[in-house]
Structure 1
């Protein structure tokens, strides 16, 4: 496979406000999301019996997030949780999580905007309840159409004293307050995308592109770097070398590849796509797919609903007119 060297121009980048993409593409229906901060309830208990009462009161949370069904009785799980919250390390996690998320309103407001716009597009959309907790790094997220459960201790950010060991550093950099709402919105958006009828790399790239396009339309002032989980340096690299990246995909004839290993190279979680360049960030195929979808929507009179329902992704590519030029 041919490798292309990507260069970064030595330019000064000045700070500016976020660009609002597709800001008026979808009208918003006002919604109100209930947020329950369960970490305070659990950590204020002074006995296993108090924990057990909470497990019963929040039965769905207990089952979906704490796996209560795996225990013969709630009393066994309650005793385990009570021992956990007595641990000084967990106390540190709790205090750092509560401090980082003392103001949850920005996240709630982004999610209310996203759900409100989804309700306009898809009237059957339900308004989920949010429940937060500190689980001792047991689980990060559970997302359904009716309930969003968040382990805040996973999303404290780089200053956290304790970090989940099973998550690679290049993924963990997205586990922070800035990215939390975008992670949830991308999941909800992805559930509205009809998968392409082809199993090619190109088709899966376009599927990802549809997800990013919808997500960025639901919360239009979130920066591209946040949706992608890229650093500002990553964005400089791909923006300045879009034509080089595209030329690499063409020259190596991978767009119509259906091999899962090949597809993972361009769509999977990796620190870099070395097949293109040491400087090319992972999941680059998803970004190119987003650019294709943006070009398609710009050059064709198509509604977002029609875009998401269209499974002919190779047709979408042909009609997109996507052809990046060297800068």
Structure 2
């Protein structure tokens, strides 16, 4: 009997892998027009004389209330010059990033064919790590000075948990998240569970849109942090259930388990070793199990309320 069950599972797994391979082959053949414009390079070379032409080509980056003299001063600012040099050294070419973004856009066109592919503009942002990527309808703005690498000297004063997000391999992941946020509606409930599943939907969309990235990269985790989350999924879930946190509307839970931080806050000795945003991780597992057990489209999942997803997922954590 056990041998028969094993064979059934093996056949199902092989069939699923073959189906995934066929889907990825189809996606790879989708034509997308990748338009990347390096405003960072144009601004680094700009002068007072060339400023009018730069403003004409990138008018959306020059608010009208700021006079030209401010932009000229910025061109010659020592910090800006240092940023220009750092970006030029780290991103002399965007070949790998462009490949990742092209694949992301192909996946978006496959799952959301009505969505338009944006023009990509790379720039510097005075290391504004809170806005590394901005998806604005027809534009995708990427601040390259926030992706210079965890150990870059310019990030000496930045906390370690934020530096993890400042790696170039995260650009397409962050772009996928920025897109997902335009698709997934904000939860209508303040319940902790509803917000966990909101982030779970975004992470599930990352599974679909950037399958070439690791689960750790999708969570913006280091590999050892991902290993900890996977090994302790059952314990984290038990903590949430035993303390009756799922339907709590205490917004402090968002800070403790959903938002970027050095670690998740259980108020236990294990806090120092627990990665942040474990509520997002659990929400992701709930959404994945929901999609495995229910015949629904991606669009239907995105619109489904968190309570229904949880009930119909029959979620069981990995032990």
Pairwise same-fold verdict (TM > 0.5): yes
Question: Retained in 2: the 8 A contact 1:268–1:282?
Answer: yes
Partner in structure 1 of residue 145 of structure 2? 153
Q: Is the 8 A contact 2:257 2:265 kept in 1?
A: no
Measured after TM superposition, the shift of residue 69 of structure 1 is 3.1
| The structure with more helix, counted as a fraction of residues | 2
SS at match of 2:134: strand
Over the residues paired in the alignment, what is the CA RMSD in angstroms? Answer: 2.5
Kept in 1: contact 2:134–2:178 (CA 8 A):
no
2:118 corresponds to: 128
Structure ranking higher on relative contact order (CA contacts 8 Å, 6+ apart):
1
SS at match of 1:264: helix
Conserved in 2, the CA contact under 8 Å of 1:51 and 1:81? Answer: no
TM-score, with normalisation over the residues of structure 1? Answer: 0.82
Superposed counterparts of 1:101-112, under 5 Å: 101-112=91-102
**Displacement of 1:172:** 2.3
Q: Which moved more, 1:300-309 or 1:92-101?
A: 92-101
Report the number of matched residues: 295
How far apart, CA to CA, are the structure 2 residues paired with 1:219 and 1:325? 24
Q: How do 1:196-275 residues align onto structure 2 when only pairs under 5 Å count?
A: 196-275=187-266
Deviating above 4 A after TM superposition, structure 1's stretches of 4 or more consecutive aligned residues are 21-27
Cα deviation code 1:74-114 (max 9, x no counterpart): x2233222322xx2x54343232122222312222222222
Give, in angstroms, the shift of residue 283 of structure 1: 0.8
- Paired with 2:161 and 2:90, the residues of 1 have a C-alpha distance of 21
Matched, 1:291 2:282: no
Q: Is 1:79 the counterpart of 2:72 in the alignment?
A: yes
Partner of 1:40 in structure 2? 41
Whole-Å Cα distance in 2 between the matches of residues 231 and 22 of structure 1?
A: 26
User: Which of 159, 176, 188 is 1:168 aligned to?
Assistant: 159
Cα distance in 2 for residues equivalent to 1:244 and 1:44: 54
Structure 2 partner of 1:317:
310
What TM-score comes out, normalization by structure 2 length? 0.84
CA offsets 1:155-185 (integer angstroms, 9 cap, x no match): 11124231285x5331222111011110111
Q: Are the structure 2 counterparts of residues 42 and 195 from structure 1 closer, same or farther at C-alpha, using a change threshold of 3 Å?
A: closer
Unmatched tracts of structure 1, length 5 or more: 1-18, 63-67
Taking the aligned partners of 1:241 and 1:123, their CA distance within structure 2 comes to 38
Runs of 5+ unmatched residues, structure 2 = 1-16
48, 64, 69: which one aligns with 1:69: 64
Give yes or no for the alignment of 1:300 onto 2:300: no
Q: Distance in 1 between matches of 2:48 and 2:205?
A: 45
Tell me the alpha carbon deviations over residues 238-273 of structure 1, each in whole angstroms, 9 at most, x when there is no partner.
111111111111111101011212232111221111
- Deviation, 1:135, is 4.3
2:181 equivalent in structure 1: 190
Q: What are the superposed Cα offsets for residues 255-301 of structure 1, whole Å, 9 maximum, x if unpaired?
A: 10112122321112211113163122111100000000111111111
Q: Choose from 102, 105, 113 the match for 1:115.
A: 105
